[in-house]
Amino acid sequence: MSTPAAAEVDRLPALRLLGEAKVGELIGDGGGRYEASGVLAHGGWYWVVFDNLADVARIDPGLRPGDPRSTLIRQPDGTVGYEDIARDPTDGRFFLLVEAARRGSGLMAQVHELDSDLRSLTTRWLDVPLERANKGLEGLSCVRRAGRPYLLGLCEGNGGHGGKRGRRPGGGRLHVFSEGRAEWERVATIHLPASLRFIDYSGISVAGDRVAVVSQESSALWVGRLAPSSWELLDTGTTYVFPRDERGRIRYGTVEGVSWLGEDEVVVVSDRAKPTQPRRVRATDQSLHRFAVPGPAGSDW
């Protein structure tokens, strides 16, 4: 199974496009390569990180190409790319997610922690072993519970696996990490509904009790609700598809990151398409997109 059947897609509500633009055009570098991998809406800006850059983009939400207020904020380490960006709503720290890095004989994800002005503070491990360097933690969100920060890390593959096992739908995982002195310690695992038929998982955003998860290969968004005092989901949620073309084919095939803008709106970023992907997918890659989320009209696949 690589994509849902056409009949399944027809039964699912679709997101409604509100606006979009290429990252390079927004910052005045239309010829650059910007493999957008994570986005955070905060303070009247969209903050974007990239697989292929250590720098952070600050984008005006008007999405006007060449707007001088949209810029790339250079970071001192020019060798590391990031999978997602999150922020502590209380102390203002930013967290940049490194999918996987070598730790001893194994692999773990890391977070590079920055202050509110994007100045480096420290780097700490997310204490969960990973199977593969390219199938680690793909999304990150920060929530506060009882005055304490927690990081929610989204596994890319089902069951946290790579290969064929990771592509077997029904095993979405979110690891919950509590801040420790030397690392972020795993304290719980949230199991996404078994009825959620995503092939992979590429981004997460949590706002209040609302959880949004996107899938690149399935080209879809799932919305559920998180219990206020436990690490449990309150429902099986609703799945929405990104707009297809007139023949029902995937157009948004590289979606990577997501951030809530309000109760019924999200901003999404797209990675660079592979040369083998069709032109309709390449037309929407390396971009920011705003989508309206309709009222629930369906359920999981």
pLDDT at 59: 98
Within a domain: 74: yes
pLDDT at 9: 53
**pLDDT over 60 (residue 192):** yes
Within a domain: 301: no
pLDDT at 296: 58
**pLDDT over 90 (residue 301):** no
Within a domain: 297: no
Q: Read off the pLDDT of each residue in 215-219 and give the average, rounded to a whole number.
A: 96
Q: What is the pLDDT of residues 73-93, one digit of tens each?
A: 998 866 689 999 999 999 999
Within a domain: 143: yes
Helices (H), 23-168: 23-26, 163-166
Q: Read off the pLDDT of each residue in 177-184 and give the average, rounded to a whole number.
A: 94
Q: Report which DSSP code applies to 2.
A: -
Domains of the chain: total: 1
Within a domain: 49: yes
Query: CATH number for the domain including 275?
Result: 2.120.10
Nearest to 222 by CA among 234, 239, 204, 198: 239
Higher pLDDT, 18 or 11: 18
Within a domain: 298: no
d(CA 220, CA 234): 20
Q: Read off the pLDDT of each residue in 272-281 and give the average, rounded to a whole number.
A: 96
Amino acid at position 233, single letter: L
201: confidence class by pLDDT, cuts 50, 70, 90: very high
**pLDDT over 80 (residue 4):** no
Non-local CB neighbours of 26 within 8 Å, separated by 6+ positions: 57, 59, 60, 63, 64, 65, 66, 67, 70, 288
> Could you tell me the residue range of the domain that residue 242 belongs to?
6-292
- Count of positions (residues) in the chain: 301
Kindly report which listed range (23-27, 73-77, 176-180) carries the lowest average pLDDT score: 73-77
- Percent of the chain exceeding pLDDT 90 equals 83
Within a domain: 213: yes
Q: Read off the pLDDT of each residue in 41-57 and give the average, rounded to a whole number.
A: 96
Within a domain: 43: yes
